[in-house]
C-alpha cells in the first residue's frame, strides 16, 4: 500500500464519460485514485470481456486506492517489498489511478503503467509505482492500472465451454484494452494527449505490453511501447485447456459445464488454481493465442505487424535472476554438476546442452564461481534471450526504431550481493527510490541515476526517441551491431553481438508458463 507523510488537500473535479470525479492534491500533483474504467467483473460477468462502467450522478470521490485482483501471497523477499501492495483484494478491481501536474488542456504525453508479478500477482498500488514524481519531474500524465489476473483473467476451458468463455483466456488483457479506451476518451480532461500514449511495464507488465502490441483491439490506442525485463514467453492453447480441465475437475465439473464456476467463491477458485499450478509444475493461467483477442503469440516467429510503426524500447537488468536465487538455501555453494542438473530439470535442457552452456558461461571473466555461472545463465535464458529476439525481429521488419538497453548499476545493499537484480530500474523510472531503500540503499548517486533513467523514459514517451542530454548518443538497435545502452552512473552505448554462450543458449527455447524451479 502506498503511504507517506505528505499532506493532501482537496483536489480538482474532472468530468469523465461516466461522471465527474474529484481527486486530491499532493506535492504539486493532482492524484485521482480508483477511477472505474469498466464494470465489476463479478457474478455473471466473471470470465467475460470487460463491460463499460455504470454512469453516476454527482461527484465521485477519487481519493482512495482501489483493491487488487484476488491472488496468492508470494514469498516476502525483503528488498522487493516496495514492489508489493498490501491493500485488500476483490474481484471488483477494474480501476485506474491518474497522476497529473494539472487537469488542464496542456496535452501532455501520457504514460500508462502495467504492473508486474507475472500474470498471477501484483497491483498498480505498490509503493514503487506511485506516479507523482514521474508526473511532476517529466511533465507527463501517469496512469496505473489494476486488472484481472491468474484464473480470473486467464482461464481457457476451450471450445466445449461455449461462447460464454470465448474470451476468458485473455480477459485480463481485454481489461487493459478497456483501460486504454478510457484513456483515449477521458485523458484530455486530466491534461493528457490521447494521441501521445506510451504503454510501459516491467516483468509481467512488459509481457502485457508485448501482447498488446499484437492485439487488434488495442491498435490505435497507444503510440510508444516500453518492455522492461520481460520473458515474452507464451503458454499454448493445449496447456491452457489442460490447466482448466484440472481446475474444473476439482469441482466435479467438465469444460462443457464450466458455467457453474461463475458461482464458486473467489477464494475457492484461487485455491483450486494453486493446486493446479502445483500439480502441473508451471502456471498456464496466462494469456495465450486464442485466434480472437490475441491472434498469435507476439515475437514468437515475427514482430507484430499491427505495431510495426510504433517505436519500442526494450531491455533487461544485468543480474535479473538473483531475485529468486540470492536467498535460496545452499544455492551459493552449488557445484558445477548440481547447476547442470538444475538446468536440465528447471529449464528442460538435455544434459549435453546444459553442460555445453554451463562451460561456455564459466569462461566469462565475471563468473568466478558455479553460483555466478548459474545465475548468469538463468538471467539470459529467462529474460535476455527473448528480449534480444524481439529486438532482432523488429530490426528485420525494418520499420519503427527499437532501442535496446541493459541496466548495469549494482546495488550496494548486502555488500553488493543483489547486483543489478530484477526490478532494480523501476524506482529510478518512477523516482520512488526512497520507497525502495531496502534494495537501493541511500546516497546522492541515486538522484543522479534517476535523472539518467527517468529522463530517457520521458524523452521516449514524448518523442519516440530516448536520447537526452545526460546520455551519450543512443542509436536504434540494428542486427549487425546490437547497439545497446548500458544504463549506469556513466552510461555508454556499446555494440554487443551475441557471443558463443548466447548463441548456444539460443538453441533452446524455454517452455511457456511461469515455472517454480530455478
pTM of the model: 0.95
- In this structure, is residue 64 part of a structural domain? yes
Q: Are residues 255 and 338 in the same domain?
A: no
Q: Are residues 356 and 476 in the same domain?
A: yes
Task: For residue 64, count other CB atoms closer than 10 A to its CB.
Answer: 11
Bridge partners for 14 per DSSP: 21
Last residue of a domain, one of 261, 291, 310: 310
Q: Are residues 209 and 244 in the same domain?
A: yes
- In this structure, is residue 1 part of a structural domain? no
Q: Are residues 97 and 243 in the same domain?
A: yes
- In this structure, is residue 103 part of a structural domain? yes
Q: Which of 298, 289, 274, 203 is nearest to 239 (CA)?
A: 289
What's the rounded Cα separation, in Å, for the pair 156 and 179? 22
- In this structure, is residue 508 part of a structural domain? yes
Q: Are residues 293 and 331 in the same domain?
A: no
Task: Report the CATH number at residue 22.
Answer: 3.40.50.1820
Last residue of a domain, one of 310, 336, 358: 310
**Are 286 and 235 spatial neighbours (Cβ–Cβ below 8 Å)?**
yes
DSSP output for 42-86: -GGGTTSPP-PPPP-SSEEE--SPPPBPP-PPPP--GGGGGG---
Catalytic residues: 203, 320, 422
- In this structure, is residue 4 part of a structural domain? no
- In this structure, is residue 425 part of a structural domain? yes
Residue-level pLDDT at 486:
98
Q: Are residues 256 and 381 in the same domain?
A: no
Provide long-range contacts, Cβ within 8 A and 24+ apart, for 329-336: 331/371, 331/374, 332/369, 332/371, 333/371, 334/370, 334/371, 334/374, 335/370, 336/362, 336/370, 336/373
Q: Are residues 341 and 392 in the same domain?
A: yes
- In this structure, is residue 135 part of a structural domain? yes
Tell me phi and psi for residue 477, to 5 degrees: -65, 140
Query: What is the tally of structural domains in the chain?
Result: 2
Q: Are residues 306 and 355 in the same domain?
A: no
Q: Are residues 161 and 260 in the same domain?
A: yes
Last residue of a domain, one of 275, 294, 310: 310
Q: Are residues 145 and 165 in the same domain?
A: yes
**Are 118 and 273 spatial neighbours (Cβ–Cβ below 8 Å)?**
no
pLDDT tens per residue, the chain (518 residues)?
455 557 899 999 999 999 999 999 998 999 999 999 999 999 999 999 999 999 999 999 999 999 999 999 876 788 999 998 989 999 999 999 999 999 998 999 999 999 999 999 999 999 999 999 999 999 999 999 999 999 999 999 999 999 999 999 999 999 999 999 999 999 999 999 999 999 999 999 999 999 999 999 999 999 999 999 998 888 999 999 999 999 999 999 999 999 999 999 999 999 999 999 999 988 999 999 999 999 999 998 899 999 999 999 999 999 999 998 999 999 999 999 999 999 998 888 899 999 999 999 999 999 999 999 999 999 999 999 999 999 999 999 989 999 999 999 999 999 999 999 999 999 999 999 999 999 999 999 999 999 999 999 999 999 999 999 999 999 999 999 999 999 999 999 999 999 999 999 987 776 554 444 54
- 354 Ramachandran zone, left/alpha/beta (phi>0; psi -120 to 50): alpha
What's the rounded Cα separation, in Å, for the pair 349 and 370? 18
- In this structure, is residue 2 part of a structural domain? no
Domain that holds residue 361: 315-515
Q: What angle do CA 447, 467, 100 make, to 5 degrees?
A: 60
Q: Are residues 320 and 295 in the same domain?
A: no
Q: Are residues 209 and 354 in the same domain?
A: no
Amino acid at each position: 500500500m502506498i503511504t507517506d507523510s505528505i499532506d493532501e488537500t482537496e483536489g480538482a473535479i474532472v468530468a469523465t464519460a461516466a461522471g465527474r470525479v474529484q481527486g486530491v492534491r499532493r506535492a504539486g500533483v493532482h492524484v485521482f485514485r480508483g477511477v472505474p474504467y469498466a464494470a465489476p467483473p463479478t457474478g455473471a460477468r466473471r470470465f467475460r470481456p470487460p463491460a463499460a462502467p455504470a454512469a453516476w450522478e454527482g461527484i465521485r470521490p477519487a481519493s482512495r486506492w482501489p483493491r487488487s485482483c484476488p491472488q496468492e501471497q508470494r514469498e516476502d523477499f525483503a528488498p522487493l517489498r516496495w514492489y508489493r501492495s498490501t491493500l485488500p483484494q476483490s474481484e471488483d478491481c477494474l480501476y485506474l489511478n491518474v497522476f497529473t501536474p494539472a487537469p488542464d488542456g496542456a496535452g501532455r504525453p501520457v504514460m500508462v503503467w502495467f504492473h508486474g508479478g507475472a500474470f498471477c500477482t501484483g497491483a498498480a498500488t505498490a509503493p514503487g509505482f506511485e506516479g507523482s514524481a514521474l508526473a511532476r519531474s517529466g511533465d507527463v500524465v501517469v496512469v496505473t492500472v489494476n486488472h484481472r489476473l491468474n484464473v480470473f483473467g486467464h482461464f481457457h476451458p476451450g471450445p466445449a465451454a461455449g461462447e460464454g468463455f470465448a474470451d476468458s483466456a485473455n480477459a485480463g488483457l481485454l481489461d487493459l484494452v478497456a483501460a486504454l479506451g478510457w484513456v483515449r476518451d477521458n485523458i484530455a480532461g486530466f491534461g493528457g494527449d490521447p494521441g501521445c500514449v506510451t504503454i510501459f511495464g516491467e516483468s509481467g507488465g512488459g509481457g502485457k505490453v508485448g501482447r498488446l502490441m499484437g492485439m487488434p483491439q488495442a491498435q490505435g490506442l497507444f503510440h510508444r511501447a516500453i518492455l522492461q525485463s520481460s520473458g515474452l514467453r507464451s503458454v499454448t492453447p493445449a496447456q491452457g485447456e489442460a490447466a482448466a480441465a484440472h481446475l474444473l475437475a476439482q469441482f466435479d465439473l467438465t469444460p462443457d459445464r464450466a458455467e457453474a464456476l461463475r458461482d464458486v467463491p473467489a477464494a475457492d477458485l484461487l485455491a483450486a488454481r494453486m493446486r493446479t499450478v502445483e500439480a502441473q509444475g508451471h502456471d498456464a493461467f496466462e494469456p495465450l493465442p486464442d485466434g480472437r483477442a490475441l491472434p498469435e503469440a507476439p515475437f514468437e516467429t515475427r514482430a507484430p505487424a499491427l505495431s510495426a510503426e510504433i517505436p519500442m524500447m526494450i531491455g533487461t537488468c544485468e543480474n535479473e535472476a538473483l531475485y529468486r536465487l540470492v536467498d535460496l538455501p545452499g544455492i551459493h555453494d552449488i557445484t558445477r554438476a548440481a547447476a547442470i542438473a538444475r538446468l536440465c530439470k528447471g529449464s528442460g535442457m538435455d544434459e549435453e546442452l546444459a553442460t555445453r552452456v554451463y562451460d561456455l558461461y564459466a569462461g566469462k571473466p565475471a563468473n568466478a564461481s558455479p553460483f555466478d555461472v548459474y545465475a548468469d545463465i538463468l538471467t539470459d535464458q529467462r529474460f535476455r534471450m527473448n528480449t534480444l529476439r524481439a529486438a532482432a525481429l523488429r530490426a528485420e521488419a525494418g520499420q519503427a526504431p527499437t532501442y535496446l538497453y541493459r541496466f548495469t548499476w549494482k546495488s550496494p545493499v548486502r555488500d553488493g550481493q543483489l547486483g543489478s537484480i530484477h526490478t532494480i530500474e523501476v524506482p529510478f523510472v518512477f523516482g520512488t527510490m526512497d520507497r525502495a531503500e531496502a534494495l537501493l540503499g541511500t546516497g546522492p548517486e541515486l538522484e543522479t541515476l534517476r535523472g539518467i533513467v527517468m529522463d530517457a523514459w520521458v524523452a521516449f514517451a514524448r518523442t519516440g526517441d530516448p536520447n537526452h542530454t545526460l546520455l551519450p548518443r543512443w542509436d536504434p538497435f540494428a542486427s549487425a551491431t546490437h547497439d545497446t545502452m548500458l544504463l549506469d552512473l556513466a552510461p555508454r552505448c556499446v555494440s554487443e553481438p551475441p557471443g558463443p554462450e548466447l548463441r548456444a543458449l539460443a538453441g533452446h527455447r524455454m517452455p511457456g508458463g511461469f515455472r517454480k524451479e530455478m
